[in-house]
Amino acid sequence: MYSDFECDECNAYFSGLENDLAAYLGVSRSIAGLQSQKRAPGFSARRLKAKSRSFIGDNILIIAPEDLKSDGNSTSFTYTKNPYTPSLVYKALLKSGLSLLDDAIVKERYKCDLPVVYT
């Protein structure tokens, strides 16, 4: 999701939350991919490294064979998520939800009050 309706002060604050949100989402960002970028972000944790690449118009996930476990018709992998702060993840998700509001409604009904989200 992309929104350019954000003051510089808000942008500086909320960009600090992105690392916690990325850690919370884990490898799912690489699996799902991002539509607005040419390639999805890679992922690196203590026990797993993954990369997402585009191949003939499809996104593929690259994981080292030694990290995969095959059992019949399924393949799985185990990894440990990087540490994150739940309250910062909540704030990042809240910001994403608020950015879905129409710009005109926000200008008319709301004002920037960062101390509320800083606590």
Say how far apart CA 22 and CA 96 lie, in whole Å: 13
The strand order across the sheet containing 58-63 reads: 43-44, 49-55, 58-63
Amino acid at 41: P
- What does the chain come to in residues? 119
Q: Residue ranges per domain, the chain? A: 1-25+81-119, 27-67
Say how far apart CA 33 and CA 52 lie, in whole Å: 7
Per-residue pLDDT of 68-115, as tens digits, reads: 788 888 877 777 778 899 999 998 888 888 778 887 777 777 666 555
HSE (side-chain half, CA atoms, 13 Å) at 69? 5
pTM: 0.59
